[in-house]
Structure 1
């Protein structure tokens, strides 16, 4: 019986997939930010909350809804003809839970940042917070404590996210199996969507004859 085999995606392929997914998220969010927040000297509270709502909706669609519909594949994976396979056969609900776990570093991270903003910076304080971000360090010393906390907390969790991402890529590079930290966490493999069999592998193996020089055999009494 020929078992179906899958080749794990390379580091460069996975990096390309992540770049595509990031661009697909960052581009619409940047456009929404420009029209709702960045293009105004004085931002209305409604615009602030609409930006948070729409940006998280985009994140949910890209990193939760679409992977559920496409069987744990993002748009980047679909474009690059790559898929996710799990080490164990999973039920439908387990696959949905895996999608949610896989989105911790994308949807989960952005949702956490949004919750922090909504909890500390209210709509009527956004303009003051924008001035705080653009001000010098001397002026920041006399700013409200929650502005300082919000900035430092966002910088801290972003740095942690970046560090974990670097570690994940480093593991993929040095690992022969091309599996990263998140792959072990979710018990999954990111593979090329081109299955093959052991028979096909064996067909590619060629036996090459090697010339061996005859040596004289000396018998000792």
Structure 2
């Protein structure tokens, strides 16, 4: 009996260790998750999976980033994956999902069948944005390694197979994903963390957009970011 109890306790401790969560402030100090969210409203929550299968959450990512995109490259890459019709004046709205984000995916990085967020909510968001901005395309982009086979028939679901967007735009894993607007002139705005696509679209208001780009100090390549 003692051996059985010992085995149960051992397996329980292993399970707890494998799912350990570390919550760190920008300086690497342990803290409370909800305290970090409230204390650093201008930061987003970055995460990474440790070798012990625990997850480190650290509120170090910028809330906003600006970047200069190569629009010609983007407009050629996206239609390669699916039959996506784009024009030279198309504005791209991209919502990016990161591997190992348990907000959306299970431990196998799969989208569960009948997930209401993917089945209903983001479809409604796409409809709202594309109806309001006639020259726009909404794209849901998934980091390579995420299994979207349960939703493969949805036309605007893309896997970042060659890691182009992960390498050039979304360099850190952000809890709840990231949002990106790419305009035909190359000006691009990233918003990290929990948000909604229709809220992101409001940044196209000229008064809001100019707050990010009026200085004309935006980077000249996709290799560098400017954080806000």
User: TM-score, normalization: structure 2?
Assistant: 0.24
Structure showing greater Rg: 1
Task: Point out the structure with the larger helix share.
Answer: 1
User: TM-score, normalization: structure 1?
Assistant: 0.24
Task: Point out the structure with the larger strand share.
Answer: 2
